[in-house]
Amino acid sequence: MISRLTLRAVTLLGFFLAVNAFAVPAVPPAATYRIAGIVVDSVTGQPLDGTEVTVAPLQDMNDAQSLMTSDDGRFLFAGLAPGKYSLLASRRGYASQALDQHESFWTSIVVGPRLDSEHIRFPLAPSSVITGVVTDDWGDPVRDAKVLLFQQSTFDGSRTLRNVNQTTTDDQGRYRFAHLLSGTYAVAVFARPWYTKNASPLLLQTLTNLQSIASSGAQVEPGASEASHASVAEDTSQPPLAQLFDVVYPVTFFPSATSLADAGRLALAPGATETADFQLHAVPSVHLRVRVPVEPPATVVSHEGGEETATQEDSPAAFLLSLHIGDYTDQIEPVRNEIAPGVIELSKIPSGEVNLVAMSLTSQAGNEVSRSKELRVSGDTDIDLSAPGDSANVSGVVLASQFHPAPTNAEQASADQPSGGRAALIRVIEEASPNVTITFRSIKTGESYSATVSSEGKFSFAGSTFPAGSYEVEFPAQTSLRVVSLEATGATASGRTIDISAGLSLNLVVHAAEANCTLSGFALKNGKPVAGAMVLLVPQDPGHDMSLYHRDQSDSDGSFSMSPLFPGRYLLLAIENGWDLEWADPAILFRYLPNGQPVDLAPAASLSLNAKVQ
Amino acid sequence: MPRRLIPIILFAAPALFPAHSSSAQSLPPSSSGPCTLQGSVVDAVSGQPVPHALVKLSAAAAARATLTDSAGRFQFEALPAGPVTLEAEKPGFLTRDRFGRWSPPTVALQLAPDSPPALLKLVSEGVIFGQVSDENGEPLEGFTIRLLLRRPGHRSLTSEMLHRATITDDQGRFRIAGLRPGFYYLEARPVHEPALSATGKSFAPSGYSPAFYPGVKDIASAVPLKILPGRMVQATLSLKREPFVQLSGTVSGYTPDEQITVSLEDPFGVSASSEIVFDRTTGAFHTQWVPPGVYTISSQSAVAVVVDEGNAVSIASQSSATGPSGFTRAPTTTFASLRVNATTSQSNLHLALQPTIEIPVVVHGLPTSNDESLQPVPPALVLLPKEPFLHPNPNVGAQPISLNPQPTGDFHAVFAGLMPGTYELEIAPQQNAAYYAESATWGSTDLLREDLILDSSGSIPPIQMTVRDDGATLNGKVHFGDIPLPAQVVLLTDKPRAPVFLPVSSDGIFSISGLAPGAYRIFAVDSSADFDYQDPAFLAKISSKIQEVTLAPKQSASINLGLAAVGESAP
């Protein structure tokens, strides 16, 4: 079964394949090769029958072939062209995995002359299972609850929990994750109480308003006060009505924590089944009272039946509320209610780490300016996104090879467009690529201001202003673009930080680097290639920028390839059994550094270097 | 919007309450004073109270909601007297489905200070659960489980629309909840392609064919699972791994410039045309590796098929000649088909394309009108082949054709793309149909009583149909027992055509107009019943619930029916 592994592999290796530093040895057209070996139980060593073994060439993962092993556990694929192949195995009762898999890396099989690809031993670990039942306050099953599985990994060099799978509970509130590799896991549940799903915003509003009238003692007609007071019997098992629907289940981590840091860890042995049951408790919803700039109503002119009518339209503030649970993100649909001009109350929000993005629509077409705040929500919170900043407009340009200034002559630039070659290719990519967003993040308040960058590299925050302070400039959504340095007249810039003071009109030049380098080679120990080693590229001046680090796993012939990389100076390391290392810890990495090889990557360079395995 | 609602309620309040002096501290004991509504929610099958169910109330002035307590009771206070509607829901109980076919009973009442407690009954949903395993008892993972429903009186199965596909887990288990009462056929289908055997000695892959519960390959031997309210049914399927087969052969009888398509239908009637490859220069076709079973391979010359907004299918082409008698003719297409019982690979299959046949239709009796907006609604005509697989696109045979008005006052139409065989003419009553078929003849055959037998030789006379607009109207009410079940009303006539099926609303109401005058036997059945309505033994069993009604032209009749208990009556 080729599943998510395929997608990950394509993501990881897509760029690499286009610039593969390997010259495939010239072979006579008729020569083909084989991949053969045996699948065994990783615990007992017994050969495994009935296993589906799949090979696929790395450059075309859809061109897969599958075979089913018989009693001897052996597999044989013949007639293969030279190249690199992924090797996957899946079997009932066992974890599905690629050969020598570590997180999203594995050892590919390199096939070709003078290479041995016919004596592969593929250990498969017995499948582990995590299962459980989710119930509510009254012990009733919660169906369609979202269950998230996190696995402890060293993805960014430290032991973190990363989201590896999701599922939903069935009508009995039951969920099941199977085919898991042994390891350390955590489980979280995110659900809405079923009885709040049906409360239409209008109903909720009516109830809330009626309740607030009754409690505020507003003047009403005699005899009518009881009509406006929605009430229920004095049964203690029933909450007051207006609060009945304004409840949520907090994001719950097994066994009963509300944050990922406090989540219980489940240690899963190969072949083991662990149970993680949840009881969800409804709590009052968190309310976010967001103050937004009160925009003057826009005048809309419509032409109907030959007549022009001008109407005033309120421009609504658009909100995007997303919930972050570790590295998992989900959108929330809160109930919104304008409780005062410019003050919008959002409810039906679970407590947790919430990222609120408020987008105010700007006048320029295609230029989205947004102001966002990341906050951990544990109770009712006031958020002010309306405060006019102290500074004047901020605008500027990003300098990078992917941005091209527009042609200066007024006529349609089609005649000037390159018709062939690299420039034409860049134009095609530019037109097809999604917008780049530049973000200014306030170091003091954590609020972020984002704007889109045009294809010419220009950006502008026209119409919104920043509070004075220090800001870090970054491209949060782009993994292949990073800020190197800033240049501004009349403002202090150091590294990627700029100080914006009151009353300033800022024109900023952002020097950005693109990840367009490739580094490949062989992992060698005493001159002999080592398969399955962890190859790590460590930036010389990391500046806490994790995006500069890069990892790969050496393939069956010891080869590795890393791409796309940012230009810069690095140290290349290869560690034989390095998959459990918390390599972001300088103390741990320290002892490997002396044996690393320095690498200097110029922009768009493609280098070949062998790494000494430690 | 909500902010403006409040003033309305406040202003409306005086209208709801009598204008008494403001010094009154207690509410006057009049019949329109504020009322309290109590009630409880119970399980319709067991009678047990349902705790923590959501009860929704809508009245003229407000919408309210509450949850029942641990004893299933609820109470709303300070309500104005007058009409209110109550509805209850809870996960695990059937709710309104998005097609509106099934809705839980709502209680509508006139609220007064002395109203008795209300009782709301919830019907629990049905569940099918089970396991799929191989012949050694090992669980089979990754099989898609689909439920198919047979609508009474219909020959084909429709897939029950579930909100998500169910796939067997690593223990081979599956579970489908939220089921309405009915007869369900369960189909298990592997998701993955079969894998070749590892050593590559034999190149035929082996794998699992799709199967129906309890593990058979054809619908005739399949056992339906009966779901009654609140019933949980366990279904275990055992499947055997088999070597797959390949089918190959040739197609003949087409000219080099004709577009020919070749299609494959699997034993379950599901199109598998992605598994068949056709080379039109040589006429050769072959399938990929497919599970053994009975397949239908068919071929036809491809013509553009146009579906207009009235869902009528006509054949469009560049060259349509006008034949005799002023009919607009569609060019003939060619067709061939083969039914293959493939237990092993078969080659040298042969499809010889034959021209298809058309039957013109003339309908008399519909009024002509110069006003285009006043087109009469004619009945829908359908020719049902007795052997669907022998005909191109069996659904075309089952689709109504549109009738084109002519200046002479007759309406013309044509059934195109037919192959020799036996057919049944079905005249389906339309919503608000004002016309019924008084007679339908084809040569000397009375199509209201006999089948249409088409052979490839000889001239093809048109079908002559006469319709009248003096049809009768019938309406009525079906009385359910305690548990409302989806029901259908069936009308049988002495003319042995397919019975007329009428849907019944959740209140038991049904109606139809444009019925041919004559004698009818009418009864109401639970929609989950799966019996042969032509079977005299079945009719004898429910004879006490059958009503005989003779309808005169333009008569309007009203009847009450009790639900005929079919099969097991109690859950």
Q: Are A323 and A346 in contact (CB under 8 A)?
A: no
CB atoms within 10 A of CB B108: 11
Closest to B210 (Cα-Cα) out of B129, B150, B133, B143: B143
What torsion, rounded to 10 degrees, do the Cα atoms A397, A399, A401, A402 define? -30
> In whole numbers, what is the pLDDT of chain B averaged over residues?
74
Nearest to B13 among A74, A75, A227 (CB): A227
Lowest mean per-residue pLDDT among A40-44, A352-356, A449-453, B328-332: B328-332
| Least trusted range by pLDDT, from A533-542, A599-608, B8-17, B494-503 | B8-17
- For B443-492, write each residue's pLDDT tens digit: 888 887 788 888 877 788 888 888 887 888 888 888 876 565 667 777 77
Reduce the DSSP state of residue A300 to 3 states and report it: strand
Dist CA B300 CA B259 (whole Å): 8
CATH code, A129-193+249-283: 2.60.40.1120
> Residue B196's pLDDT band (boundaries 50, 70, 90)?
low
DSSP code per residue over B22-34: TT--SPP--TTS-
Cβ–Cβ under 8 Å, residues A133 and A174 = yes
Cα distance between residue A449 and residue A476, in whole Å: 11
**Residue A488 confidence (pLDDT) above 70:** yes
Q: Which two tokens stand for residue B340?
A: 């293959």
The dihedral region occupied by A173, where left means phi > 0, alpha psi between -120 and 50, and beta the remainder, is left
A138, B51: Cβ pair inside 8 Å?
yes
Give the B window 140-179 contacts with A, CB below 8 Å: 140-142, 169-171, 175, 177-178
Query: What tens digit of pLDDT does each residue of A257-289 get?
Result: 888 888 899 999 988 999 999 999 998 888 888
User: A33-124 architecture in CATH?
Assistant: Sandwich (2.60)
What pLDDT is stored for residue A215 in this prediction?
43
Residue A474 near residue A439, CB atoms below 8 Å: yes
More confident residue, B39 or B194: B39
CB neighbour class for A548 (10 Å; exposed up to 12, middle 13-18, buried from 19) = buried
Find the DSSP H helices in A278-436.
421-432
- Which has more pLDDT, A303 or A603? A603
- What is the token pair recorded at A72? 């001897």
Q: In whole angstroms, give the CA distance from residue B526 to residue A484.
A: 74
Q: How do residues A172-208 score in pLDDT, each as one tens digit?
A: 999 999 988 888 999 999 898 998 875 554 455 555 4
Residues of B in contact with A67 (CB under 8 A): 195-198, 200
Asked if A167 reaches chain B (Cβ–Cβ under 8 Å), the answer is no
Question: Given CB atoms, is B232 within the 8 Å cutoff of chain A?
Answer: no
Q: What is the ipTM of this complex?
A: 0.72
A138 touches chain B (CB under 8 A): yes
Q: Does the beta-carbon distance from A209 to B3 stay under 8 Å?
A: yes
Q: How many CA within 13 A on the CB side of residue B316?
A: 7
Q: Torsion over CA of A348, A354, A355 and A356, rounded to 10 degrees? A: 30
- In chain A, what residues touch B142 (CB-CB under 8 Å)? 1
In one-letter notation, the amino acid at residue A510 is V
- Residue A427 tokens read as 């134009």
For B300-349, write each residue's pLDDT tens digit. 886 544 444 343 444 433 233 333 333 333 445 788 888 888 888 899 89
Residue B388 pLDDT exceeds 70: no
Residue B28 has pLDDT above 70, yes or no: no
Q: Do the Cβ atoms of A235 and B178 come within 8 Å?
A: no
> What pLDDT does residue A544 have?
64
Q: What part of B 180-219 touches A (C-beta under 8 Å)?
A: 192-193, 195-200
pTM of the model: 0.74
Torsional sign, CA A407, A454, A440, A518: negative
- Nearest to residue A451, comparing CAs of A475, A417, A479, A486? A475
B56 shares contact with chain A (CB less than 8 Å): yes
* Dihedral Cα B394, B397, B402, B403, nearest 10 deg: 160
Residue ranges of domains in chain A: 33-124, 129-193+249-283, 285-296+316-384, 393-514, 518-612
| pLDDT value of residue B306 | 44
Q: How many CB atoms lie within 10 A of CB B306?
A: 11
Whether residue B571 is predicted with pLDDT greater than 50 in this model: the reply is no
pLDDT band (50, 70, 90) for residue B420 = confident
Instruction: Give mean pLDDT, residues B395-423.
Output: 64
A227 touching chain B per CB within 8 A: yes
Angle between helices B2-16 and A201-216 (to 10 degrees): 60
Nearest alpha-carbon partner for A66 in A90, A43, A47: A90
Q: Which fold has domain A393-514?
A: Immunoglobulin-like (2.60.40)
Distance CA A468, CA B44 (A): 66
- B89-99 tens-digit pLDDT: 899 988 765 44
Of B56, B171, B195, the CB nearest to A52: B195
Mean pLDDT of B513-519: 81
Q: Rounded to 5 degrees, what are φ and ψ at A285? A: -65, 150
pLDDT for res B430 = 54
- Please indicate whether, in this complex, the C-beta atoms of B200 and A67 are within 8 angstroms of each other: yes
Under 8 Å between Cβ of A404 and A426 = yes
CATH of domain A518-612: 2.60.40.10
Average pLDDT rounded to a whole number, residues A113-119: 87
State how far residue B22 is from chain A, nearest Cα, in angstroms. 6
Domain A285-296+316-384 carries which CATH code?
A: 2.60.40.1110
Task: Give the full edge-to-edge strand order of the sheet including A120-124.
Answer: A74-80, A33-41, A120-124
> What is the token pair recorded at B242?
């088999």
- A74 Cβ under 8 Å from any chain B Cβ: yes
Of the candidates A273, A252, A248, A253, the one whose C-alpha atom is nearest the C-alpha of residue A264 is A253
Q: Evaluate whether A33-124 and A393-514 have a shared fold.
A: yes
Mean model confidence pLDDT for chain A: 75
Three-class secondary structure of residue A583 per DSSP: coil
**Cβ <8 Å between B198 and A68:** yes
pLDDT of amino acid B135:
87
Using CA atoms, how far residue A224 sits from A280, B38, B131, in Å, is 39, 21, 60
Instruction: State which residue of chain A sits closest to B88, comparing Cα positions.
Output: A195
Look at residue A363 and tell me whether its pLDDT is greater than 60: no
Residues of A in contact with B77 (CB under 8 A): 226, 231-233
Q: How far is it, in rounded angstroms, from Cα A253 to Cα A259?
A: 7
Find the largest Cα–Cα distance for chain B.
Answer: 100
| Strand, coil or helix: B542 | coil
What is the band of A463 on the pLDDT scale with cuts at 50, 70, 90?
A: low
3-state SS class at A422: helix
Among B169-183, B500-514, B533-547, name the one with the lowest average pLDDT.
Answer: B500-514
| pLDDT tier, A406 (very low <50, low <70, confident <90, very high otherwise) | low
Peptide bond into B243 cis (omega under 30): no
Residue B212: closest CA among B260, B163, B267: B267
How many CA atoms within 13 Å lie on the side-chain side of A232?
23
Tell me: pLDDT of A428 over 60.
Answer: no
Which tens digits make up the pLDDT trace of B251-304? Answer: 988 887 778 888 888 877 777 888 888 888 888 999 988 888 888 888 888 654
